[in-house]
Structure 1
């Protein structure tokens, strides 16, 4: 597995908190926020940035911006 894009990941939310945040964002129809939170969840689960970005359908440049944020 390519780990070159994994980098250092600091967890700010537990997976349970992240799942709750995703559910709340879905309830309020916050599509972009749902995608961002799902991207983060994919990173938490071990995906590279590239893999996580593909799963939520974002470009490489967006993947980079979201990972830096």
Structure 2
């Protein structure tokens, strides 16, 4: 039998850009501005893919009092 694991117990290592901007309610341009300002980290996952490390997104949300986005 397959058991369900809580998201908070096993968070992803990184978050993809599109779902993240949807959850935060920001534009792609704003996301890249936040990366340029050093408020979010963006890593290369492959030649054409990038992601935001979970820890970076948690810190960003905590600094702004956002609880439901992560």
TM-score (norm. length: structure 2):
0.28
Query: Which one has a larger percent helix, Structure 1 or Structure 2?
Result: 1
Higher strand proportion, which one? 2
